[in-house]
Amino acid sequence: MAAQNNHWKHLFAPDSVALIGASNTPGSWGYGIMRHLLASAKRRVYPVNPTASEVLGTPAYDSVVNIPGVVDLAVIVVSAPKVPQVMQQCAQKGVKTAVVVSGGFAETGEQGSKLESELVKIAREGGIRFIGPNTMGHADTSSQLCTLAWIGKITPGPVALISQSGNMGHRILLNGMSLGIGFSKFVSVGNEADLHLEDYLEYLARDEKTRVIAIYIEGLREGRRFLQLAKETTTRKPIVAIKAGGTKESARAIRSHTANLAGSDAVYAAAFRQAGVIRVDDDDELCDVVTALLYQPLPRASRVGILTIGGGLGVVAAEASEREGLEVAHLAPSTIEKLNACLPPRWSHGNPVDMAGISMAENPAVFSALWALMEDENVDAILLQAPVGFSTKRLSSVFNSEEIRAFRGKEEKNLDLLRQRVREYGKPVFMVKPAVEFASDPEVSSLFRREGIPVYSSPRRATRVLNHLVWYRRYLDAVRKNC
Amino acid sequence: MAAQNNHWKHLFAPDSVALIGASNTPGSWGYGIMRHLLASAKRRVYPVNPTASEVLGTPAYDSVVNIPGVVDLAVIVVSAPKVPQVMQQCAQKGVKTAVVVSGGFAETGEQGSKLESELVKIAREGGIRFIGPNTMGHADTSSQLCTLAWIGKITPGPVALISQSGNMGHRILLNGMSLGIGFSKFVSVGNEADLHLEDYLEYLARDEKTRVIAIYIEGLREGRRFLQLAKETTTRKPIVAIKAGGTKESARAIRSHTANLAGSDAVYAAAFRQAGVIRVDDDDELCDVVTALLYQPLPRASRVGILTIGGGLGVVAAEASEREGLEVAHLAPSTIEKLNACLPPRWSHGNPVDMAGISMAENPAVFSALWALMEDENVDAILLQAPVGFSTKRLSSVFNSEEIRAFRGKEEKNLDLLRQRVREYGKPVFMVKPAVEFASDPEVSSLFRREGIPVYSSPRRATRVLNHLVWYRRYLDAVRKNC
């Protein structure tokens, strides 16, 4: 049963929220959620607590039924046995939607399952759609809603995240934000007693604020519906998914975590391939792929040009490319000529294009070499492992302040040109950090972020992402051909 | 031909160094090396430059022959065609050893090879042993010697690094230092015209400051000697190696980089297995393994206990363990009883031990659960994915300053106990960051570093390391049995 449109409005952009179980005790769920709800002035927030007269300075009510105004959304954090009664009161009050954070339901065994059934029955009768139980909450950066207890500030952006694990969801949010990824919406789905993962997917597929959908899956309630939705969505919006539980013990762990059946790994793999879902192994890989999808075009094919400052780095990048199923491009003779014209004679005269050390003053040559690779019809994508994007600190060790300004001016112009050409040629460019300190400087990272060039810590990570992009492009080409 | 002992002394702990090609131009090699040589007061430094009267404030000489004192080590950065003549002058002066940084020799083709042969002949006749040519230099943190141009400060420690690529060497140094790894010595071997990788290995195997040897290999000059040396060394000191060039294009790239033959990947793999060399794929994995070898015991077998704060995290950790060839341990009934006694009733009652969320105040329970796993005879190693090690900032959001002091006191006592028990039971404990911000706090990182607990960013990285450790332990057990 899909939720109606106005339910989604009340869930993700409510005008009023009641927090049942609000608390003044630092470190508790009821305290953390209250703090994050109060962070936005966009809505009325009603704390419910039978013993406190106020919570975090806001007048409290002893029951949801005694709240004077309308309540669009109730967030429930009382202990499991009390939840059905609270849900009953919400129905009585005319609450539209709920988030049941409390755990102690189907995930704990038979008795919990009974309690969960009772809860669903009450909600259905009262016309309340709900997230959970056993959820870590949800968030919408556009409406500035956050029902999470442990993360209060989420960077806004075009990525929606649905997670069948609250902790994995938090990991992906924090990991993603540290890499500059912004999020539109987040849902920790919990036990999916009412709303299913598939409902959220259907909603987010239509959501205009969402350009990429990321999902952590342990097991699907409605596998067939998921695949149909995914198939319809991936031609417009990429879906990147972790499917856990592909081994014996992890499948067993899933049963005790969310009472889900992990299902056959091979069946999932085949279904994802047919539906155009990009499957990744862990949250590092998920964030890597999402970053590329947000800012870079899909490569036409798998031939990689490698522009590197050192021979060893080139060797390792070539090896990683081949191991990930990509090809090391054979450069056209005209490209070799162009490179001869712009690089010092010691360059490797082939791909990887090893510039064999290049000083800061020679930096413009890096861009000339980039343009040569970009123009080569044998090159579909470029790995850049060269000194581009210096911090002011590094530049200061070589140049005076006037020289730095001139250097910066030229470099920014070249980076703008790069962004333009990436689009024009439809060839993605990934930066692979030649050294850890390089581009870990916040100034440099933000420079690359502004220009939409993903930065990866190793060739292995970059080439893995590229391989996913090649696969996705081929999938889309095949779908379009059949239309 | 192995170098004599006094050559090693002159190479790694010279009393005097001449830099031929020293320069006052910021950003040049001759400037960078000069700066780093001058950073230590342990030796005399003589810049040689035919046109400058001083370099960086130190009196300069127009030729090495005109330096008044003895010269133990000459660092040469003049252009390739001038190097043989400079080497001749070094011989005339009685210089003992040299580092030929200059490129433009065998790596550039036939003419360069001739120049290199000439160089070797002059050095041999003059009794000079040398590193390079085409090297990025070398370093010894104990004698405070650094002939590198681009890295001046290397954290001292027990890891020696030999690299057949200067850039990969720099990557490993910087990556390692950012993870808290300290280095004893570093050599970028260059073209190995005189001293071979095998010579450095023989020297470092005997070096008392070195406990672990890390190597980046493209191709070996003396394969048989390498394996014999490795076999003798690995029973006392672990060797961790990247062997690049396992694919067609990377092998081709190696030929144009160091003129080495990559050799058959399968042959290398088999030889490394026989010699007890731990083979890793890239510098991330190398640093991960080295960290574990430095601070943790080798596990007796491959059965992993997983202690986690969240179900999803446990699922992903179990899956990673199995995919890396480890086993998810079956806990003894007595362990289940102990865990029942210390954990909230909602815990998963199996391995992964999912504590299903635990507050800061419940933190001591994490340690009680750790001790229970440590004592279980079915557990050989532990992955810890739980809240241990809080930053003051995080604690301040929950506790007042007196409570924080009390909390810290208890926690430090428990961490000390952990270190003690890791040794006592011979079971390694790895921390896997439950979230990125966690333990990326410098305060927390340094806490773990002090206690010798490696922190990994994902279960995949941690389990890969553990699998290497299991393999190495089995190798050593087999060797000892046969003795």
Report pLDDT digits (tens) over B99-147.
999 999 998 889 999 999 999 999 999 999 999 999 999 999 999 999 9
Q: Considering only CA atoms, which of A262, A281, A331, A265 is closest in space to residue A467?
A: A281
B165 contact residues in A (CB cutoff 8 A): 310-313, 315
Q: Which residues of B touch A257 (CB under 8 A)?
A: 311-312, 314-315, 348, 354
**Which chain B positions have a beta carbon within 8 Å of A178's beta carbon?**
436-437, 440
pTM of the model: 0.91
Query: Across the interface, do A167 and B434 touch by the CB < 8 Å criterion?
Result: yes
pLDDT digits (tens, 9 = 90+) for A183-203: 999 999 999 999 999 999 999
Q: Do A27 and B171 touch (CB under 8 A)?
A: no
pLDDT of the residue at A4: 58
How high is the pLDDT of residue B345? 86
C-alpha torsion sign, points B262, B266, B267, B271: positive
Contact (CB<8Å) A257/B281: no
Tens-place pLDDT, residues A129-166: 999 999 999 999 999 999 999 888 999 999 999 999 99
Closest Cα partner for A370 from A314, A447, A429, A435? A429
Q: Nearest chain A Cα to B252, which residue?
A: A315
Q: Looking at the partner chain, which of A346, A357, A436 has a beta carbon nearest the beta carbon of B175?
A: A436
Query: In this predicted structure, what is the pLDDT of residue B439?
Result: 47
How many C-beta atoms lie closer than 10 Å to residue A42's C-beta? 12
Q: If you average pLDDT over each of A300-304, A347-351, B389-393, which comes out highest?
A: A300-304
Residues of B in contact with A281 (CB under 8 A): 460
Q: Which of A136, A218, A247, A249 to mutate to test the interface with B (most CBs of B within 10 A)?
A: A249
Task: Tell me which residue in B27, B247, B437 faces A322 most closely, judged by beta carbons.
Answer: B247
Residue A319 is nearest to which of B165, B244, B437, comparing CB atoms?
A: B244
Residues of chain B with pLDDT under 70: 1-5, 258-262, 359-360, 434-442
pLDDT, position B262: 65
Q: What percent of chain B has pLDDT over 70?
A: 95
**Alpha-carbon gap: A17 to the closest alpha carbon of chain B (Å):** 24
Q: Which two tokens stand for residue A397?
A: 């060790």
Return all residues near B99 (Cβ < 8 A) that are at least 6 apart.
Answer: B11, B73, B74, B75, B76, B130, B131, B132, B135, B137, B138, B147
Q: For B60, how many CA atoms within 13 A lie in the half-sphere containing its CB?
A: 21
> Residue B296 CA to chain centroid, in angstroms?
15
Distance from CA of A59 to the nearest CA of B (A): 22
A350 to chain B: closest CA residue: B253
Q: So what's the pLDDT on residue B363?
A: 77
Strands B129-131 and B138-140: unpaired
d(CA A74, CA A47): 10
Nearest to B348 among A104, A256, A457 (CB): A256
CB contact under 8 A, A165 and B312: yes
pLDDT higher than 50, residue A1: no
- A168/B248 CB distance under 8 A: no
Per-residue tokens: B460 = 């995949």
B contacts of A398 (beta carbons < 8 Å): 26-27
With CA atoms as reference, the chain B residue closest to A457 would be: B284
Contact between A458 and B283 using a beta-carbon 8 Å cutoff: yes
Using pLDDT thresholds of 50, 70 and 90, give the confidence band for residue A439: very low
Q: Amino acid identity, residue B188?
A: S
Tell me the mean pLDDT in the region A102-112.
Answer: 91
- Give contacts of B167 with chain A, Cβ < 8 Å: 309-313, 434
